[in-house]
Amino acid sequence: MEKKVSRIGVLTSGGDSPGMNAAIRAVVRTGIYYGLDVFGVMRGYQGLIEDDIHKLESRSVANIIQRGGTILKTARSKMFLKPEGRKIAYENLKKHGIDGLVIIGGDGSFRGAVAFSKEFDIPCIGLAGTIDKDIMGTDFTIGFDTAVNTAVEAIDKIRDTADAHDRLFIIEVMGRDAGYIALHSGIATGAENILIPERKTNIEDLLSSLLEKQKRQKLVNLIVVAEGDEFGGADEVAKLVKERMPQIETRVCILGHIQRGGAPTCLDRLTASRMGYHAVECLINGRHNVFVGILNNKMNYVPLENVGKRKGTVSDEWMKIVKILAS
């Protein structure tokens, strides 16, 4: 029989995402509700190694549900990639009597958790905290909705000035390996073209579509490019357009890290609260070493070792919608 969990730790790791604080709050308050002691680990796995671990009370997480960033801070720990680093982390957890861990982060953070849970008897629960929405096993990741709404707000503003000057704008959004921010924000702002890593970019097709639009006097055009598109980011695309179509007035805007900050949307707060609550339930009920996702509005538990990046799953239907609506 698995031993009962009584003291748990929570950490945020990898790139931050809006809603991480709401998830921390949910873990802390659910843990306390069930009579557990809850500890916050600073700067992800690095804080485990450096023993930067602090007991949290219900009031420690007051007034954070609406705040972006993460009160626990975050890091990408190189030392935790090594068995020696993980051993120190384990010893520190033992010192505090911590017997369960909730990890809020992306796929890289889960790989760390898999290695750790195989080596040591500390159950780990993973929650998807990433703006990129590139994790399999869940329809939502904490932060995606906020990031995409930030991008939509920015692109709407760009359209105003593009329209005033009859310009082509090439806008780069985040997404190192995934085009979800580009696809969602692009469709929602009526972008004429959307370039994403999941689809091969045919630059000749793009140029001829611009030429065709120019012929019928459609001079305001927005191209949304995911930073991870294989052709390159917005600068690369703009360079080529300027070379081949110098008659078009072109500007570039890279939205960058503003997409990672700001108050989480209602959806991200709800997602984070549900996931955080269920993470603690998992630890208590002996459902160990799983990732907690939400699929078709139901909790979905996937063994952590089966969780990876969601790749190439953009449907043809969505791409057809982009094409038809952008005419």
Footprint of ligand F6P (CB under 6 A) = 15, 130-132, 174-176, 227, 260
Q: For ligand F6P, which is the closer residue by CB, 94 or 176? A: 176
What whole-number distance in Å separates Cα of residue 206 and Cα of residue 226? 15
Q: Which is nearer to ligand F6P, 199 or 260 (CB)?
A: 260
Q: Which of 16, 107, 132, 229 is catalytic?
A: 132
Select 99 or 268, whichever has its Cβ closest to ligand F6P.
268
Q: Is the CB of 5 or the CB of 174 nearer to ligand F6P?
A: 174
In the complex, least distance from residue 297 CB atom to ligand F6P, rounded to whole angstroms: 25
User: Which residues are CB-neighbours of 13 under 8 A, at least 6 positions away?
Assistant: 44, 45, 74, 75, 76, 77, 103, 104, 105, 106, 108, 109, 112
Q: E strand or H helix at 225, and its extent? A: strand 221-226
Q: Is 99 a catalytic residue?
A: no
Rounded least distance, CB 131 to ligand F6P, Å: 5
Instruction: Answer whether 193's CB lies under 8 Å from 209's CB.
Output: yes
CB of 12 to ligand F6P, least distance (A): 12
User: Residue written as tokens 């609506």?
Assistant: 325
Distance from C-alpha of 242 to C-alpha of 247, rounded to nearest angstrom: 8
Q: Rounded to the nearest 5°, which phi and psi values hold at 106? A: -105, -165
Min dist CB 181 to ligand F6P, Å, is 7
- How many alpha carbons lie under 13 Å from residue 280 in its C-beta half-sphere? 27
Q: Judge contact between 69 and 20, C-beta under 8 A.
A: yes
Helices 144-165, 266-285: inter-axial angle, 10-degree rounding: 160
Distance, in Å, from the CA atom of 126 to the CA atom of 12, rounded to the nearest integer, reads 10
Q: Which is nearer to ligand F6P, 154 or 174 (CB)?
A: 174
Helix or strand run (H / E) with residue 229: none
Looking at this protein, which amino acid is placed at residue 48? L
Residue number with the smallest Cβ distance to ligand F6P: 15
Nearer to ligand F6P, 9 or 15 (CB): 15
CB of 110 to ligand F6P, least distance (A): 14
Q: Rounded to whole angstroms, how far apart are CA atoms 283 and 100?
A: 7
- Shortest spacing between CB 226 and ligand F6P, in angstroms: 8
Active site residues: 132
